[in-house]
Structure 1
Amino acid sequence: MKNIYLKRCIGLLSLLLIIPVWVYAQNVTVKGTVKDSNGESMPGVNVLQAGTTNGIITDVEGNYQLNVPSNAKLIFSFIGYVTQTVPVAGKTTLNIVMKEDAQALEEVVVVGYGTMKKSDIAGSVASVDRESMMRKAPTNIAQGLQGAAPGVMVTMQDGAPDANAAVRIRGVATINGKADPLYVVDGIQVGTNANFVNPSDIESIEVLKDASATAIYGSAGANGVIMITTKHGTKGHSSVTITADFGLQTLPNKLDVCSVDQYASNIRTARANDGVGLWNEVWSEKYDGKRKFTDWQDVMTRSSWKQNYNISTSGGSDKTQYNASVGFLRNDGVVINTQYQRITARANVKSQINKYLEFGADVSYVHTDSHGSNNSIGNFGNLSSLRDFAFMCPSMDFVTRGDATYDGVPAGAHISPNVVNPDGTFGEVLGGKDTNDGFWGTIIGNMYAKQMELQGRNRNNRALASAYLTITPLKGLSWKTLVSYSYYSGSSNNFSGGIKRFNYYNGQAIDVTKGTNAYVNPSNDNDYSFSIGNNDGQTLSIQNTLTYGWKNDIHDLTLMLGNEVSRYYGQWTSAGSRGFWSKDNRDVGLTTKPETLSGSGALNLESRGISYFGRASYSLLNRYILTATIRRDGSSNFGAGNRWGTFPSAALAWRISEEGFMKNQDVVSNLKLRLGWGQTGNSGGATDLSVVGLTTQNVKYSFYNSGQGMGKYNGMTFDTGYYAKLVDTNLKWETNEQMNIGLDASFLQGDLNLTMDYFIRTSKDLLLYRQVRPSTGFSDVYTNYGEIENKGFEFSLAYNKRLNKDWSINATLTGSTLKNKVKKMGEPLYNTNSDSSGRGTEDGSNTGAVGAADGYHWGNHSICKEGYAVGSFYGYRVIGIYKSKEDLEKYPRYSADTQIGDYIFADLNDDKVIDAKDMDILGDGFPALNYGLNLGANYKNWDFSVYLYGVSGQKIFSYSAMRLSNMFASDDGCAPNILKESAAAAYHPENNPNGTLSRLSFLDKNNNMRASDMWIKNGDFLRVSNIQIGYTLPKNLVKKASIQSARVYLSIQNLATISGYNKYGDPECGQGSVLYTGLDTGRYPMPRTYTLGFNVQF
């Protein structure tokens, strides 16, 4: 018995010793290749051990290798292909052929409050190719969208480090409201600016264009909707991705202005034409070759660095996926002392808790910090416009005059100020009697010093947090609640002045503030200026949606009902003053000039909104599709009687390619006809304009006093109140109605895809100011009146083809046409760029001169009138140049001072007087066609792409061309330098009797520089926006460092712009306001950027 027991114990012990070996022996290394049905290798396929997070993705050759138990099952998945589960069964090699999934190939796109199969879309929805977008290395969303979708026109407002862009979807359909689209990020409405989203965090972008697609967002969707979905991780694959870009920015070209001696000759000619002598002897011929030349375009610009870093991690299991990222961008602008920084952070997670519950949460934060660039586009003297640099007087030299002393310097001395002195101080041009003719009025001075003095900063913070819970109690039925909170805060401070200036004479530093009649820019030690502003706001939103879906082989029905409530609360303050004794002061109250102290602000800014909406989508036999939506919005911006607006839509689609008669052909693989109609709304910036307000400003009553009579002042006055404005208490929503007909087609087995749309978009009940009878006591009232129509055609043609194992090519051409017209207006609306009210007067008395000083007679250069485009160009027509006394007698003259060599302005009403009644509509800035072309090719590990963008049929109302064409100085005190071409074209009775431009003049008594068709220029251009070449390192080279993939690339942004407008500046000019489309007032130069970057995934 003992022997038997001993044998059993030994056997059991041996078995226990063998089990670990046996278990270990069950782990095998499985490897293989994944290909498609055509035998092509498939990179990026997810290979996951079932029930675990153990997984990998296939490399560029489709190969994989994974260590798993011998009895494990491997799951192979890839978008657009049937997921396969394959038992290992002890095998060490598994080669897989992936089969296309007909249903998975039905691309899913994000729409309002849900998703839909692309084949079921009946409205006009464009998907942006993320990979192509990222090849442009965009620093914000707008840059990535340019040319990426038909019907979407993106105009970069300038090239500043913190530049914004004007985004227009299917034109402009408002006057006083905003024309920017709504951005929706992960289902949350974030307003009309999404630059806080790091492009590297984006998974997909859809653009909802027609009303049948946007009506689900009601009043917010009037100008289109851009749906952004951020990355949320993938099942069974964890990774860390690092991306870094290093860019060198340069000024691509300069404006070809006159040299200093040419400028001196122009000064002499202009003074002689005006019948006056030189203000300062420095411009006489005796000083030719002796003046110090200052090229302000070189002085004010630089080569600068741009850096962009992003780190992200993502992954997850079958149930939970996550993605987290941080990013840092620093852009040192090409203009000196300008910079922009952005820090972003984002974390997204979603989890399928069980078959009934899904939970997700997103948190994001962005901080921006900028300084040095002036956001007032085109304002004269904003120190960041290339035009301002070009026309600045090319020398600060002057000669001291006999009736002035200058810190002991004798009369007749030639002073040549430095921009920067050897000791680091700044030189200065003098004013007063010693000024040179280039700075003869108000002092512009040393532009470099002014820019370097700027110490202001603009800081913004934005946080967005959201969480959702989806309950699926029954198959096809789900309830989703999404709660979001957004917080924004901004602060700005501007500090300038105070750097003392010195010039040098005979090697000695001399104080520019000392001397008789020596007057300089008041930037002395006790005249610092300081301003500060703060604002913040927060929005809480709650969405609830109930969705039901049911389908069989014949019917496919989806119903959705929902509601959304939101509340915004905000405040702002600002204050400023000047006259500080110390540059270290940061208290606006500690000023030596209390009369300059100002402050303003607003508290308890609040608005509330509530909405109810629904959508029904039905498909019959996967051929006939109907989609209908309705939304009812309530807003506190309107009076009680009109706070609610209802916005319906409907769309039909016919999938012709699914009909029986299309089955026996292989030319067309997809053909769908779409028809849509819908209404959206626009609040038009109504805010509190429907609320009656009272004021006590400048109103006093005097009372009768015995012996003095009624109305005589008796020492007793009492303040009283009266209506501050005439109010229409029945203000209501602008209504935007749109019709769309579209066609989607695929050819060559899906390699060639075509999308076309034609639309008519009409906006009614515009919110605008209308004149009223004088008997009311007011001049105008903000009310509903007017109608605008936009019509256009848009298309997208894309070709993608894998030629063989090594080669693949792709090309996408997008384009859109647009015709904008005011259909109903009543009396015209006149506008001036600097007129903050948006209202002008028919006689042009509202003369803001597009942000410059008064005197240029550009008042009311923009007009809205029936039969013409919104913000059409408005001015005089030039029919020639007075070249003889006979011409002066034959044609009406603007004034008695009009001379030979001045422009002849058309007397349109034939009353023999040139005045505002002769102003005419001169065109508009809407391009007839804007287009984009994306070309790409891949060869083995190499990839190449080029992106071109352009417009055709664009006119530019060029304030820049005017300023670069004559010497007129007005009151801004800077007699401008002009283009060499302009100097050569200026009329002169002896030297250039065939000149095409008016005579050179400082005084311009004929107002030759006024807004006229002389400054309407052809703005067509084609820009090579981005060109990039990349190389993906071989897998066998990087796997030793545990790297899944690595790619390096070189790119050039803004390589070339082909345009006849280049001599005046960049033809891609945008103002942001709908009233000034195509107006060029000068802007921060657009840099050319050479970028080296890499992307590494672990």
Structure 2
Amino acid sequence: MKTTMKRLLLFLFFVPIGLFAQTVVKGKVTEKSTDIPLPGVNVVIKGTTTGTSTDFDGEYQIEANSGDILVFSYVGYQSVEIPFTGGATLNVELAEDAAQLDEIVIIGYGTTTKKDATGSVEAITSEDFTKGNIVTAENLLNGRIAGVSINTSGAPGSGSQIRIRGGASINGSNDPLIIIDGLPISNDGVTGSRGVLASINPNDIDSFSVLKDASATAIYGSRASNGVIIIVTKKGKSTFSATYDTQYSFGEVTNTIDVFSGNEYRDLVRSQPINGTTIDESLLGGANTNWQDEIFRNTVSSQHNITMQGALFKVLPARFSFGLVNQEGALRTSEFERRNLSLALNPKFFDDHLKVSLNANLAFEDNRFADAGQIGAAMRYDPTKTVYDPNSPFGGFYQHRDGNQVANGTTNPVAQLLQRTNLGDANRVYGNLNFDYKFHFLPELRAVINLGYDKTEATGLDTRDRLQATTDQDILFKGERRNNSQKRTNELFDGYLNYKKDIDNIGLDLTAGYSYQKFTNEGVNGRNLTDPLSVDDFYTDPDVVLIGFFGRANVTLNDKYALTLTYRRDGTSRFSKDNQWGDFPAAAFAWTISDEDFMKESKVFSNLKLRLGYGITGQQSITEKDIFLNRYRSGRTDSQFQFDNEVIQSLIASEINPDLKWEETATIEMGIDYGLFDNKVSGSLNFFQKNSTDLLFTASVPDGTNFSNSIIQNIGELQIQGLEFSVNTDVINTDDWKVDFNFNATLLDREVKELALGQDVRTGGISGGTGNNIQIHREGEAPNSFYVFKQLYDTNGNPIEGAYADLNGDNVINDNDRYVKENPGANAIFGFQSNIIYKNFDFAFNLRANLGNYVYNNVRSSRAQYELLLDNAVLGNIPTSVLDTNFQRTSDVITSDVYVENASFLRMDNITLGYTFNDISKLLKSVRVWGGVQNVFTITNYSGLDPEVTDNDSDLTLTLGIDNVVYPRPRTVLVGANIKF
């Protein structure tokens, strides 16, 4: 009994010790999606001040009692609370707080939240980018945002035509202002480069913000009429990770212009007299050559990206990346190569009061340009002739010859490609250094200074083989080597103050600042290095200096009502002193209806906001930067004067317009942002109207009033009205399944409201004659409308050659009988994307559609006539579409409305399927392998090669909506892998 009592007392003694003893808990905190360790995570025992944080490897150690609740929190991630029930190890995964990350929206000179935004701003982050064979940055946005259309040709590394809400000008630029990490860049191209964004590595981009209405864009004043695209690159992080992305693509041209085969052509020539004369059959050869197949090729291209990020010296967040692109063009000899190096450093000082951001980028772009004019030549070249001729003095290539001279007509397109080496190199360094200081004595006040720099040095060398054929009647061309170079710089200084404070139920966000930007451009239009008499032509453009004073006030009341007032005063060196300065104000109001008492209990609307905005923006992009200066150019070499024994070359005064000023665009917008069912469904509906006045326009002036018969003037008014709708939804969101989609639609109506003296302006030059124009600017019509004759048809529905309707009834068919038939602009633009994830599988695709856009088929109008079978005693092929019309003469039919075709289309740009292997090893976190197809299909009734006519390749001279020669988009099969360490 005594022994039992002792044991019981001993047990009672140790029970309290067991109850109150603390256990040392260890563990590791990682990011849920990547398994990457997270340093700096706060680990706190709930309800106490006891806590710690994870180290560089994401590991922590804390003493806890059974029953304690451990709280794990980290900025940008969802907090986790875990009851401690015992054990020595507790590993935790934190998931990104998507709602928190998506809330921030980048705007001009600062940020806002989706809730507080009063303007039309849409943000797309890297998770939502378009997937596939993305070589240039802008294609990450393709089809993603309402009101934004991006059209890219099939040339490797090709630039794109970007339009936001249809642009805002007629003759001026319609390109949006593009800003990279606070640095506005120039839209002017440089020698040796494919485009202004061709040197940017898409893998380095973190997000796009698209500012569409004037209340959002007015902060950029004189350059914001066509919208603003703000690009933010990826920044350094404290968490170490490394990623390797690789991708290979295999392209094939699947569609070419239908022309006659060799056998079909021989039969056609034998049966088809030209102007009543039978063609000499001795001109025919015995081959069956498809010249389009000969100039196009299957392509193999690759992309590689290596990224490393982490804390240098354990305190300095950093990111480094290297990218390599090798892209073959579908047209033989066309190639694009780019190498990118980027470094991002993001340290903080003085208890996080000073934030410094350094973004430095190097880009090396190497191009070999192929003469895209040979696409047209391949359509025309005689299919009965061979590619090679061992007896030819022109490098072994067949050429039409008259004895030992090149006969009139086109030259062998394969030879023209292979015997020419046109190289271009563009080396670019760009970036910014940003200082963001929060005052110690007044933390609501921040001072921000942003220094930006962008410099491109480019060279070009165009070499032609001495045996290359030419129609100048020389047996040997004697070769040619022309070089050129260019240097373009862009320097920026921005400084502004921002004051942000909540006073009771009033929120203030005030910004005021100054901006200075300078552009320089100089170069050499090189001489022919094989000609000792040739000389270099040096040029230096006048510096373009832009100065701006800007301010913005955001005022919110009760988190429900928001008012934004913006003002910018801009100065430019492009105009004379009297017109150098412009004022660009804007105002916007937003009412968050869903926060009202009568809406708070709604089971349907989780967000409902009404927006109203008005603002004025500008346009000052003109080609002649010194149009207001007195300038002179050299006269003809035989225009000379002799004084004594000295011969003086004459000078001719150039045109001048000292009254030139800003083109201005006033925009009014009304919009609704909505969120349904706890924001499972969200989107916006916007109506807008843009009126551009004082249009920068090249127009005629009376004889004798200037030194040219046409100069740039401020004339006319253009109005664009539109309606935008977007919807984003999570259809399914479970542990195994995630399905979402995005749909956007834009309706556009464009109208020329006013032109100088109400006069029409002809435009749209076409092939197939001299001085022919097929488009017109006319009051009351859309810009670039097609201006054609109304075709007459016989009783069988066949067009009658040269027979047009007498629309004005004067019994004479002349220009007065031409009429406006449609225009190139689409009335409706649609985009649809979807992402489907099942466990480790991911599937994505995106579709685009245009409705109501028309194209003038200049391929058919200038080539599909029987008279072209014989051109200057040389046989030439023609499109098989001639069988639809049986037209004989080009000059009789080229302005017929039969060639204006509806080019509406539905296109699937990309489709991808991937699988991710997780937790492969301690070193290897995950591997995603994927495959896909780009340019999957296009559904259209347009008879040409592509309903999206592009005019962005330097080798092609195309006009909006005119299909002369299109660089085909190849269908590309993609395979790739993403490896995370």
Q: Which band: TM-score by shorter chain?
A: 0.7 to 0.9
Match status 1:1017 vs 2:901: yes
Is 2:957 the counterpart of 1:1077? no
Q: 1:929 aligns with which of 818, 824, 828?
A: 828
In the TM superposition, 1:184-223 aligns within 5 A as: 184-192=179-187, 193-223=196-226
Q: Which amino acid aligns with 1:676?
A: G
Superposed CA deviations along residues 1048-1082 of structure 1, whole A, max 9, x for unmatched, are 10010011111122x42011112259993221111
Q: Distance in 1 between matches of 2:301 and 2:893?
A: 39
Distance (Å, rounded) in 1 between the aligned partners of 2:646 and 2:102:
82
Q: Which residue of 2 aligns with 1:504?
A: none
Q: Is 2:384 the partner of 1:395?
A: yes
Q: Structure 1 pair 648/1077, CA: closer, same or farther in 2 (3 Å)?
A: same
Query: 2:690 aligned with 1:690, yes or no?
Result: no
Report the Cα offset of residue 245 of structure 1.
Answer: 0.3
Cα distance in 1, alignment partners of residues 474 and 762 from structure 2: 34
Measured after TM superposition, the shift of residue 773 of structure 1 is: 2.9
Name the counterpart of 1:859: 772
Amino acid at match of 1:233: G
> Which among 512, 515, 530 is matched to residue 564 of structure 1?
515
Aligned counterparts of 1:702 and 1:328: Cα–Cα separation in 2: 58
Whole-Å Cα distance in 2 between the matches of residues 790 and 877 of structure 1? 28
1:977 lines up with 2:915 in the alignment: no
Counterpart in 1 of 2:156?
161
1:761, distance to aligned residue in structure 2 (A): 0.7
- From 278, 303, 307, give the equivalent of 2:302: 307
Alignment deviations for residues 1004-1054 of structure 1 (CA, whole Å, 9 cap, x no partner): 2x723423212111111111111100001032xx124x1122211001001
**2:658 aligns to what SS in structure 1?**
coil
Higher mean alpha-carbon deviation, 818-827 vs 931-940, is at 818-827
Cα offsets for 1:289-328 (capped at 9, x unmatched)? x821001122111111110000111123896421111100
Which residue is 1:457 aligned to? 423
Contact kept, 8 Å, 1:129 with 1:148, in 2: the verdict is: no
Cα distance between partner residues in 2 of 1:74 and 1:1034: 27
> Are the aligned partners of 1:219 and 1:680 in contact in 2 as well (CA < 8 Å)?
yes
Call closer, same or farther: CA 1:86–1:637 in 2, change over 3 Å.
farther
Would you say the 8 A contact 2:356–2:434 is kept in 1? Answer: yes
Q: 2:910 aligns with which of 1026, 1036, 1039?
A: 1026
SS in 2 for 1:135: coil
Match of 1:872 in 2: 785
- After superposition, the Cα gap between the structure-2 partners of 1:74 and 1:751, relative to the gap in structure 1 and judged at 3 Å, is closer
Query: Which of 300, 323, 341 in structure 1 is aligned with 2:319?
Result: 323
Correspondence list, 1:483-502, <5 A: 483-499=451-467
Indicate yes or no: 2:714 matched with 1:799.
no
Structure 1 residue 522: deviation in Å? 5.5
- Summarize the alignment of residues 244-255 of structure 1 with structure 2, pairs less than 5 Å apart: 244-255=246-257
Q: Residues 229-283 of structure 1, C-alpha deviation per residue, up to 9 Å, x if partnerless? A: 1111334x1101110001111112233322222222333444x251123245244
Q: Which residue of 2 aligns with 1:1066?
A: 946
Does residue 117 of structure 1 match 2:82?
no
Preserved contact between residue 790 and residue 896 of structure 2 (Cα < 8 Å): yes
Paired residue secondary structure (2:221): helix
Matches within 5 A, 1:698-717: none
1:797 Cα deviation from its structure 2 partner: 1.0
Whether 1:665 and 2:616 are equivalent positions in the alignment is no
Given the two structures, how large is their TM-score scaled by the length of structure 2? 0.87
Which is strand-richer, 1 or 2? 2
- Counterpart of 1:1052 in structure 2 is 933
Within 5 Å, which residues of 2 pair with 1:41-56?
46=38, 48=40, 54=55
1:476 shift after superposition: 1.0
The Cα shift of 1:352 comes to: 1.0
CA deviations over 1:500-559 (Å, ceiling 9, x no partner)? 79xxxxxxxxxxxxxxxxx97757545212222111021221110100000155111100
Structure-2 separation of matches of 1:683 and 1:86: 63
Deviates more, 1:163-172 or 1:309-318: 309-318
Kept in 1: contact 2:275–2:867 (CA 8 A): no
Q: Is the 8 A contact 1:880 1:903 kept in 2?
A: no
Q: 1:340-397 deviations in whole A, cap 9, x for unaligned?
A: 101111111111112332222111011111113247xxxxxx12x3x5434432122x
User: Do 2:325 and 2:338's aligned partners in 1 also have CA atoms closer than 8 Å?
Assistant: yes
Task: Note closer, same or farther for the CA distance 1:298–1:88 as it changes in structure 2 (3 Å cut).
Answer: farther
- Residue 974 of structure 1 and its aligned partner are, at CA, apart by 6.7
Secondary structure of the residue aligned to 1:605 is coil
Distance in structure 2 (CA, Å) of the matches to 1:359 and 1:198: 23
Which whole-Å CA distance do the structure 2 matches of 1:423 and 1:775 have between them? 53
Structure with greater Cα Rg: 1
TM-aligned CA distance change 1:646 to 1:729, over 3 Å? same
Q: Distance in 1 between matches of 2:789 and 2:977?
A: 54
Matched, 1:960 2:859: yes
Q: Are residues 1:426 and 2:310 paired?
A: no
Of the three residues 132, 136, 142, the one matched with 1:136 is 132
For the Cα contact (< 8 Å) 1:245–1:307, is it kept in 2? Answer: yes
Whole-Å separation in 2 of the counterparts to 1:728 and 1:422: 55
Aligned-residue offset at 1:881:
6.0
Q: How does 1:897-912 map to 2 (within 5 A)?
A: 902-912=801-811
User: Within the alignment, does 1:547 sit opposite 2:543 as a pair?
Assistant: no
Question: What secondary structure is seen at the aligned counterpart in 1 of 2:418?
Answer: helix
Q: Which residue of 2 aligns with 1:641?
A: 578
- Work out whether 1:763 is the aligned partner of 2:643: no
8 Å contact from structure 1 (residues 181, 224) kept in 2: yes
Match of 1:170 in 2: 165
RMSD: 3.6
Deviation per CA, 1:707-757, whole angstroms, max 9, x where unpaired? xxxxxx9999987766432x3312111111101111111112111112111
Aligned pair partner of 1:369 in 356, 366, 370? 366
Could you tell me which amino acid in structure 2 is paired with residue 346 of structure 1?
A: S
Query: Percent identity among equivalent residues?
Result: 26
Per-residue deviation, 1:189: 0.8
Structure 1 unaligned spans of 5+ = 1-24, 36-40, 57-65, 284-289, 376-381, 397-415, 502-518, 578-586, 704-712, 834-847, 888-899, 986-996
- For the residues of structure 1 that align with 2:875 and 2:745, how far apart are their CA atoms? 43
2: CA distance between counterparts of 1:849 and 1:973? 24
Q: For residues 908 and 630 of structure 1, what CA distance do their matches in structure 2 show?
A: 51
Distance change >3 Å, CA 722–CA 195, structure 1 → 2: closer
- After superposition, the Cα gap between the structure-2 partners of 1:482 and 1:691, relative to the gap in structure 1 and judged at 3 Å, is same
The residue identity in structure 2 corresponding to 1:494 is D
Question: Relative to 1, partners in 2 of residues 1:555 and 1:631: Cα closer, same or farther, differing over 3 Å?
Answer: same
Matched, 1:753 2:682: yes
> Alignment length, in residue pairs?
926
Equivalent residue for 1:939? 838
Q: Deviations over 1:583-607 (max 9, x none)?
A: xxxx2443xxx5xx46533126312
Q: Give, in angstroms, the shift of residue 946 of structure 1.
A: 1.2
Q: By how many angstroms is 1:904 displaced?
A: 0.5
* Cα offsets for 1:471-504 (capped at 9, x unmatched): 2112110101111221111111111233479xxx
Which stretches in structure 2 are left out of the alignment for 5+ residues?
1-21, 43-51, 65-69, 188-195
* Residue identity matched to 1:495: T
Match status 1:479 vs 2:447: yes
Distance 2:399 2:541 in 1: 48
Could you tell me which residue of structure 2 aligns to residue 612 of structure 1?
549
The structural deviation recorded for 1:78 is 6.1
**Pair 28,452 (structure 1): closer, same or farther in 2 beyond 3 Å:** farther
Query: Which of residues 346, 349, 361 in structure 1 aligns to 2:345?
Result: 349
One-letter amino acid of the structure 2 residue matched with residue 1047 of structure 1 = R
Query: Taking structure 1 as reference, are residues 537 and 359 closer, same or farther at Cα in structure 2, changes over 3 Å only?
Result: same
User: In structure 1, how many angstroms separate the alpha carbons of the residues matched to 2:139 and 2:474?
Assistant: 39
SS in 2 for 1:630: strand
C-alpha deviation, 1:649, in angstroms: 0.6
| Aligned equivalent of 2:19 | none
In structure 2, C-alpha distance between the alignment counterparts of 1:187 and 1:417, rounded to whole Å: 53
Q: What amino acid maps onto 1:1012 in structure 2?
A: S
After TM superposition, the score normalised by the length of structure 1 is: 0.78
Give 1:984 deviation, angstroms. 3.4
Q: Distance in 2 between matches of 1:425 and 1:695?
A: 41
Do the aligned partners of residues 44 and 762 (structure 1) sit closer, same or farther apart at CA in structure 2, a change above 3 Å counting?
Answer: farther
In 2, Cα distance between equivalents of 1:860 and 1:423: 40
Are 1:625 and 2:556 matched, yes or no? no
